[in-house]
Amino acid sequence: METLSTVRSHRGEQGVYRHESTTCHCPMTFSVFLPPQADNGPVPVLWYLSGLTCTYANVMEKGEYRAAAAEHGVAIICPDTSPRGEGVADVPDSFKLGQGAGFYVDATQEPWSTHYHMYSYVTEELPALVSKHFNVDMNRQSIFGHSMGGHGALCLALRHPHTYKSVSAFAPIVAASETEWSRDALTTYLGTDEDALKAYDATELVKSGSRVADILIDQGDADAFLEDGLRPWRLEAACKDAGIPLTLRMQPGYDHSYFFISTFMNDHIKWHAERLSA
Amino acid sequence: METLSTVRSHRGEQGVYRHESTTCHCPMTFSVFLPPQADNGPVPVLWYLSGLTCTYANVMEKGEYRAAAAEHGVAIICPDTSPRGEGVADVPDSFKLGQGAGFYVDATQEPWSTHYHMYSYVTEELPALVSKHFNVDMNRQSIFGHSMGGHGALCLALRHPHTYKSVSAFAPIVAASETEWSRDALTTYLGTDEDALKAYDATELVKSGSRVADILIDQGDADAFLEDGLRPWRLEAACKDAGIPLTLRMQPGYDHSYFFISTFMNDHIKWHAERLSA
């Protein structure tokens, strides 16, 4: 693992790192914010998964997470959103497919299956790497994310309820196999077998029996993707049927941007910190 | 004045605006964050002046100022750092001169004197525009900034002590007429008459009798520009002689970046809010 940069911020250290991923078969870059509490002992880990077009860097610069992470003593780890590089399959003129749009799946279809293994990367390779290099307590992990990353966070938490103590999301894609703009990506990566798709659909996972303790979702009601792409009420209905307490907060006037994410970042980190220390 | 964008954030509104500046003789862009309190009455104004290479946008995206501004009910206004455009004099391969490096002076030397009037722009034209379009109380203004913008904030406050209720800075250039990397810019814009230069040098202004009630400065001790360009102890010594209380906080391990600025943003906004409401 190579350190690309470290900088002091909010009494902790914001770092950017690169490594040769054996899962994605390419160099991968990610960021880690270590709160000051990591100087004194292992700290819990909160994974943040970003949305379409983003890298690890967008939320690092605009997410305003460090103040709350330092207050609550939580490490924030932000993976990239896909494999990247010249040899990695891509659709340069699409923001919904290819590089920057990994959808946190393990692709099974050519040419994507060579590199697009973000599911295994985020659940296996990166946690192993992080636990080796940073003063973190891997028995206390939680996960959250935005949009496509909210989809990733929800799916990972539902599929690994014993790994992640808690899950939340900003404006997530909650039914990735149904909504047009995500279904296209999923079928490209996974084919059209419905069972394969449903394994990466939070609403379908809940319907088929996956469970988490509770879920927090913030969603702006001025979000341009709300009606076409996000529709959090689908997950809300499924959770109601399943008896999963879901707090869906419709936030008046907020859009899909980092101006929205940063507004509610403190609330989400506090939510996770309470569950990580429970 | 044209509205380029508005977005809801931290219960307020972050906007970006453009207008034809009669002072700089070109279109100028700036940002305004209106806290939620502006819905109920005029709010005080806190001007933020940015550093070399920046526009209004850098601190808007990375400065993490909205949470504290909303808490304290203060509008944050961020001007650009220079006139810009094809017809505006520039030195494209220098970050210390020309576009992005206005140094908040009224240039007197050709070709700069055509457009580079950032001093009058920030002290006269922009306040008049802002007071006309936003629900702000221009009897309660304060000012802060970073690096070159810290220089600007200090000079403007020292020259207009009745306009600005308070002044603070992150890693400011405190003696712009002395330090090599700022003296080059000042002499280019203003010529070599020492009196003209000293009017844009915070330390010299204090030495020659300008006064403010007090000053807050945060400075990272790992800032690569500390020894060569910033040297806050020069202003500290002048303030000591002048009886101006200056709080200079040397922050261990912090550099010159927005990771540093954002760490201490809350403290500065609180400092100004207390003085704006006094």
Interval A109-116 mean pLDDT: 98
Position B278 scores a pLDDT of 85
Note whether B222 contacts A: Cβ–Cβ < 8 A.
yes
Nearest to A7 among B11, B67, B259 (CB): B259
Residue A240's CB is within 10 A of a number of other CB atoms, namely 13
pLDDT tier for residue B124 given thresholds of 50, 70 and 90:
very high
| Contact indicator for A80, A29 with CB cutoff of 8 Å | yes
Beta-ladder partners of A78: A31
- The residues with which B29 forms a beta bridge, in sequence order, are B18
Q: Which of A92-96, A259-263, B146-150 has the lowest mean pLDDT?
A: A92-96
CB-based contact (8 Å) between B208 and chain A? no
Q: Which residues contact B134 (CB under 8 A, 6 or more apart)?
A: B32, B34, B38, B75
Instruction: Dump pLDDT digits (tens) for B159-208.
Output: 999 999 999 999 999 999 998 779 999 999 999 999 999 999 999 999 99
d(CA B162, CA B156): 11
Quote the Cα angle for B94-B100-B103, to 5°.
Answer: 95
Q: How far apart are CA B266 and CA B257, in angstroms?
A: 16
Query: Cβ separation of B64 and A61 shorter than 8 Å?
Result: no
Per-residue pLDDT band for A179 (boundaries 50, 70, 90) equals: confident
- Asked if B64 reaches chain A (Cβ–Cβ under 8 Å), the answer is yes
For residue B38, the one-letter residue type is: A
| Structural contact between residues A121 and A15, judged by C-beta atoms closer than 8 angstroms | no
Q: Are strands A136-146 and B2-9 parallel, antiparallel or unpaired?
A: unpaired
Q: Which of residues 239-268 of A touch B (CB under 8 A)?
A: 253-255, 257-260, 262-263, 266
The predicted structure's pLDDT at residue A252: 98
| pLDDT surpassing 90 at residue A225 | yes
Asked about B168 being catalytic, the answer comes back as no
Give the pLDDT of residue A153: 98
Q: Can you give the pLDDT at residue B244?
A: 98
What integer is the mean pLDDT of A152-181? 96
**Rounded Cα distance, B87 and B85, in Å:** 6
For range B219-241, the mean pLDDT:
96
pLDDT tens-digit map of B162-171: 999 999 999 9
Contact yes or no for B64 and A259 at CB 8 A: no
Mean pLDDT computed over B47-61: 98
Whole-number Cα distances in Å, B221 to B174, B232, B249, B252: 16, 11, 10, 5
B25 close to A (CB below 8 A) = no
Q: Region A225-238: what's the mean pLDDT? A: 95
Interface test with B, best of A263, A264, A268 (most B CBs within 10 A): A263
pLDDT band, residue A228 (cuts 50/70/90): confident
In chain B, pLDDT over 90 holds for what percent of residues? 98
Q: How many other CB atoms are there within 10 angstroms of residue A4's CB atom? A: 11
Range list of β-strands (E), B83-229: 136-146, 164-170, 215-220
B147 is catalytic: yes
ipTM entry: 0.95
Question: Which residues of chain B does A223 touch, with a Cβ-Cβ cutoff of 8 Å?
Answer: none
**A to B CB pairs, distance under 8 Å:** 61
Structure tokens at A94: 């699409």
A103 interface with B at CB cutoff 8 Å: no
pLDDT digits (tens, 9 = 90+) for B28-39: 999 999 999 999
How long a stretch of residues is chain B?
Answer: 278
Helices then strands, counting H and E runs in chain A, come out as 10, 9
Q: Is B231 left (phi over 0), alpha (psi -120 to 50) or beta?
A: left
Mean pLDDT confidence for A115-127: 98
Which residue is closest to B221 within chain A, CA to CA?
A8
- How far the first Cα of chain B sits from its last, in Å, is 32
The secondary structure of A201-263, three-state, reads: CHHHHHHCCCCCCCEEEEEECCCCCHHHHHCCHHHHHHHHHHCCCEEEEEECCCCCCHHHHHH
Residue B79: asked if its preceding bond is cis (omega within 30°), the reply is: no
Chain B residues in contact with A14 by the CB 8 A cut-off are 259
Mean pLDDT along residues B142-160: 98
Q: Which residues are CB-neighbours of B48 under 8 A, at least 6 positions away? A: B59, B63, B65, B76, B77, B78, B143, B144, B145, B146, B149
**Who's near B269: CB < 8 A, 6+ residues apart?**
B46, B65, B68, B69, B72, B74, B76
- Pairwise CA distance, residues B173 & B117, whole Å: 19
> What pLDDT sits at residue A11?
98
What does the pLDDT read at residue A67?
98
User: In this model, does residue B138 exceed pLDDT 90?
Assistant: yes
Q: What is the pLDDT of residue B228?
A: 85
Q: What is the per-residue pLDDT across A48-70, written as a single tens digit (0 to 9) for each?
A: 999 999 999 999 999 999 999 99
What SS3 state is found at A78? strand
**How confident is the model at residue A181, as a pLDDT?**
78
Q: How confident is residue A180, by pLDDT bands cut at 50, 70 and 90?
A: confident
Distance CA A227, CA B262 (A): 35
**Element housing B259 (H / E):** helix B258-276
B193 has which bridge partners?
Answer: none
Instruction: Find the mean pLDDT for residues B41-63.
Output: 98
What is the rounded CA–CA span in Å between residue A10 and residue A34?
10
Give per-residue pLDDT as tens, B1-20. 999 999 999 999 999 999 99
Residue B223 falls in the annotated catalytic set: yes
Q: Decide if B9 and A253 are in contact by the 8 Å CB cutoff.
A: no
With beta carbons less than 8 A apart as the criterion, state whether B38 and B12 touch: yes
Cross-chain Cβ contact A67/B266 below 8 Å: yes
Q: Which residues of B touch A266 (CB under 8 A)?
A: 67
Specify the pLDDT at position B180: 79
